[in-house]
């Protein structure tokens, strides 16, 4: 959803901006641009397409200046083109602006500005913001920005530089999409995501909604929505910059798949006491009375995080005996949900910045629910609006397709389910924890079968349609397997509850429509085998994921992917791994851009 980066200080500006943009490229890659201010002049270079196009174009330029901005775009208003690429200037070319979000009242504002004589050369809503600030700009960029944002409706994060500023400065504002300031020694940074700043500083300040800030080389000043100067807490990031690099892997996605054993271990380490069989968290605690008062858990999430919520429902209901609903963030806020004090609303988000999830969390909180977040990004909005946070310790996830974020969310949900069980006076069985301890090894073992999965993908990469089937706790894994395949390989894939196939999708089955069936665990293994039988009887092709010996499936499956056995509640973490790898290798085989699939962005910060 567009990446923003800004720098002011003694370094060479453009290399820093490009470096930051490279990390932020996952947020959008329709076009990119940079601007620097040199001797009171704006110098900008923009290019349609990916960041490499901009880098190529910059080779012929000598863009130097005291401070500047960089942007990578995910188009909302106006097609991807150089004309619509950011930075966008006002029509007097006294300021340049980069923007992430949507200005909802851009049409009436544009009409008024045109009447006032301002010109428009792009199709973007961003140009309205540039001209609006321009219309108020005399000598003080911060004051003009403050006047302009009072008139803006919608969600935005933007940053501006100007030729009229006496001292070098960057002014930025946030309402909705994230913005983080990086503090250095005699320098200041700005970015949509702290991952872009890791190589430069670990001291960051997250702007709150409604904040306006002014950055100079000497530091940052922040004003809240009422115009009062405020101090925001400086957060020390613990992420390692190396984690945001590919480390020898061809794609971030493959690297992140391989990081899962460690990430899962990092997520449960320090929270489980294997001697006393107890669970505890740093940023979330309930007394037994508080735990007993929870009547219902409402999980709010989008995409892959919603799939992890579906798995979490099984975990929490079985272990803590609390009923759980799972809602899409985008649906929840537009219905009239029954929420009250006995509700624990649980927002699940890798980024902590997904607009739909955040709105749903706020709606639940407004109606009296207690708010808890499972989140990967420290200091992100989801963590700030919640009363409690369970961090997943996945490290930065750069590939647009979620992999390690998903399995660490499942780990956190399992811990939460056990914690609720414990606080409601039910014992945690040692075996529940020992199965958790074994998971990293089990998953590492699957990585050893990577070559077989690559070969399987080679045989199936030509198919255009796939059906993924799972039952019970593995139905969400069928959904997740299908989502991984479709989003990165552009093959059509549908996830379905295996038992429902006969109520409709079975009509699609023929030899050109492979079915991936998850047949693990004790509860529904035979049932899924019957469903595979139904596929075979209609000349369908079956790829089975199983924890049983291959011979047991010889009658019902054409291909068998074997996975280690875990407990029924943890088996989904194992089962999803070969599906991630299968999707990855199919996408590579089809020549797709794995880390930056078309039309997608990693953090969806617009509604
Ligand atoms: O950052 P979030 O977890 O809130 O993101 C939600 C979805 O946009 C995300 O899970 C998306 O579906 C995945 N990147 C798909 O792999």
> How far, in Å, is the centroid of ligand 1 from the Cα of 350?
7
Atom of ligand 1 nearest to the CA of 602: 14
Q: What tens digit of pLDDT does each residue of 551-591 get?
A: 999 889 999 999 999 999 999 999 999 999 999 999 999 99
Residue nearest to atom 15 of ligand 1 (CA): 401
> Is 1's pLDDT higher than 70?
no
Q: What tens digit of pLDDT does each residue of 513-527 get?
A: 999 999 998 788 888
Instruction: Report DSSP letters for 301-322, one per residue.
Output: E-HHHHHHHHHHHHHHHHHH--
Atom of ligand 1 nearest to the CA of 382: 4
Beta strands, E only, 315-382: 324-328, 343-349, 370-375
Mean per-residue pLDDT of the chain: 92
Q: What tens digit of pLDDT does each residue of 22-55 get?
A: 988 877 778 999 999 988 899 999 999 889 999 9
Cβ contacts of 194 within 8 Å, gap of 6 or more: 180, 182, 204, 237, 239, 377, 378, 379
Cite the residue boundaries of each domain of the chain with CATH code 3.40.50.10490.
252-447, 450-589
Which is catalytic among the residues 2, 188, 213, 375?
2
Higher-pLDDT residue of 75 and 483 is 483
Beta bridge partners of 7: 68, 189
Alpha helices in 424-538 (DSSP H): 430-447, 450-460, 475-489, 525-536
Q: What tens digit of pLDDT does each residue of 158-215 get?
A: 999 999 877 899 999 999 888 999 999 999 999 998 889 989 999 999 998 899 999 9
Higher-pLDDT residue of 254 and 23 is 254
Cα torsion 52, 58, 64, 68 to 10°: value is: -40
Q: CATH class for domain 450-589? A: alpha beta
CATH fold of 3-242 reads: 3.60.20
Q: How confident is the model at residue 104 (pLDDT cuts 50, 70, 90)?
A: confident
Distances (CA, A) of 102 to 4, 99, 176, 180, 329: 14, 9, 10, 19, 18
Atom of ligand 1 nearest to the CA of 484: 16
Percent of the chain with pLDDT over 70: 98
Q: How confident is the model at residue 607 (pLDDT cuts 50, 70, 90)?
A: confident
> Is 247's pLDDT higher than 90?
no
DSSP 60: T
pLDDT for 542 equals: 95
Q: Determine if residue 514 is left, alpha or beta; phi over 0 gives left, psi from -120 to 50 gives alpha, anything else beta.
A: beta
Whether 375 is catalytic is: no
Q: Which candidate, 243, 237, 200, 204, places its Cα nearest to that of 12?
A: 200
pLDDT for 71 equals: 96
Candidate of 400, 402, 580 to mutate for ligand 1, largest count of ligand atoms within 8 Å of Cβ: 402
pLDDT for 244 equals: 67
Cis, peptide link before residue 87, omega less than 30° from 0? yes
Cite the residue boundaries of each domain of the chain with CATH code 3.60.20.10.
3-242
pLDDT for 242 equals: 66
Which is catalytic among the residues 46, 255, 486, 602?
602
d(CA 442, CA 448): 10
Instruction: Report DSSP letters for 110-143, one per residue.
Output: HHHHHHTT----SS-SHHHHHHHHHHH-SS-HHH
Domain 252-447 has CATH 3.40.50.10490: yes
Candidate of 303, 485, 595 to mutate for ligand 1, largest count of ligand atoms within 8 Å of Cβ: 303
Q: How far is CA 553 from the centre of its chain?
A: 37
3-state class (DSSP) for residue 59: coil
> Is 243's pLDDT higher than 80?
no
3-state class (DSSP) for residue 289: helix
Average pLDDT of span 471-492:
96
d(CA 50, CA 91): 26
> How far, in Å, is the centroid of ligand 1 from the Cα of 302?
6
pLDDT for 340 equals: 86
- Name all residues whose Cβ lies below 6 A of ligand 1: 302-305, 349-351, 354, 357, 400-402, 487, 603-604
Sheet containing 41-48: order of strands: 41-48, 31-38, 67-73, 3-8, 188-191, 180-183, 203-206, 235-236
Q: What tens digit of pLDDT does each residue of 417-473 get?
A: 999 999 999 999 999 999 999 999 999 999 989 999 999 999 999 999 999 999 999
Q: How confident is the model at residue 391 (pLDDT cuts 50, 70, 90)?
A: very high
What is the phi/psi pair of residue 375, to 5°? -150, 155
Whether 2 is catalytic is: yes
Average pLDDT of span 60-73:
89
d(CA 438, CA 262): 12
């Amino acid at each position: 959803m567009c990446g923003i980066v800004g720098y002011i200080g003694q370094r060479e500006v453009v290399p820093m901006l490009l470096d930051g943009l490279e990390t932020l490229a996952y947020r959008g890659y329709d076009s990119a641009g940079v601007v620097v201010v040199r001797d009171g002049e704006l110098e900008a270079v923009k290019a349609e397409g990916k960041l490499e196009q901009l880098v190529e174009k910059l080779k012929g330029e000598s863009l130097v200046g005291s401070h500047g901005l960089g942007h990578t775009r995910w188009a909302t208003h106006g097609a991807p083109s150089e004309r619509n690429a950011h930075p966008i200037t006002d029509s007097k070319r006294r300021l340049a602006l980069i923007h992430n979000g949507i200005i909802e009242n851009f049409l009436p504002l544009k009409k008024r500005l045109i009447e006032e004589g301002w010109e428009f050369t792009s199709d973007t809503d961003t140009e309205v913001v540039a001209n609006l600030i321009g219309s108020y700009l005399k000598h003080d960029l911060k004051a003009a920005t403050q006047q302009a944002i009072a008139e803006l409706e919608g969600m935005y994060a933007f940053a501006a530089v100007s030729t009229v500023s006496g001292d070098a400065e960057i002014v930025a504002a946030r309402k909705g999409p994230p913005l983080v300031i990086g503090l250095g020694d005699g320098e200041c940074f700005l970015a949509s995501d702290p991952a872009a700043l890791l190589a430069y500083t670990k001291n960051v300040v997250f702007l709150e909604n409604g904040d306006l800030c002014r950055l100079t080389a000497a530091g940052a000043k922040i004003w809240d929505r009422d115009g009062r100067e405020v101090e925001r807490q400086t957060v020390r990031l613990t992420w390692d910059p190396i984690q945001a690099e590919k480390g020898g892997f061809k794609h971030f996605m493959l690297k992140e798949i391989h990081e899962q054993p460690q990430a899962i271990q990092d997520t449960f380490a320090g929270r489980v006491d294997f001697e006393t069989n107890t669970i505890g968290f740093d940023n979330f605690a309930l007394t037994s009375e508080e735990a007993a008062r929870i009547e219902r858990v409402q999980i709010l999430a989008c995409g892959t995080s919603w799939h992890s919520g579906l798995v979490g429902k099984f975990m929490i209901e079985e272990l803590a005996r609390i009923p759980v609903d799972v809602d899409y963030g985008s649906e929840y806020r537009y219905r009239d949900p029954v929420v009250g004090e006995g509700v624990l609303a649980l927002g699940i988000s890798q980024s902590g910045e997904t607009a739909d999830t955040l709105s749903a969390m706020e709606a639940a909180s407004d109606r009296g629910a207690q708010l808890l977040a499972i989140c990967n990004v420290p200091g992100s909005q989801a963590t700030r609006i919640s009363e409690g946070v369970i961090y997943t310790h996945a490290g930065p996830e750069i590939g647009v397709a979620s992999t390690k974020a998903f399995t660490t969310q499942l780990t956190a949900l399992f811990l939460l389910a056990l914690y609720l069980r414990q606080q409601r006076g039910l014992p945690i069985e040692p075996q529940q924890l020992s199965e958790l301890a074994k998971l990293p090894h089990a998953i590492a073992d699957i990585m050893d079968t990577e070559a077989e999965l690559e070969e399987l993908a080679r045989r199936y990469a030509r198919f255009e349609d796939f059906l993924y089937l799972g039952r019970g706790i593995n139905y969400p894994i069928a959904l997740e397997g299908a989502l991984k395949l479709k989003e990165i390989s552009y093959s059509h894939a549908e996830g379905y509850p295996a038992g429902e196939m006969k109520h409709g999708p079975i009509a699609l089955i023929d030899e050109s429509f492979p079915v991936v069936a998850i047949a693990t665990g004790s509860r529904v293994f035979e049932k899924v085998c019957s469903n595979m039988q139904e596929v075979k009887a209609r000349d369908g092709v079956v790829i089975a994921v199983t924890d049983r010996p291959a011979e047991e499936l010889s009658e019902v499956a054409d291909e068998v992917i074997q996975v280690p056995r875990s407990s029924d509640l943890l088996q989904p973490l194992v089962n999803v791994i070969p599906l991630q790898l299968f999707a990855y290798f199919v996408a590579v085989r089809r020549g797709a851009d794995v880390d930056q699939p078309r039309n997608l962005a990693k953090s969806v910060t617009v509604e």
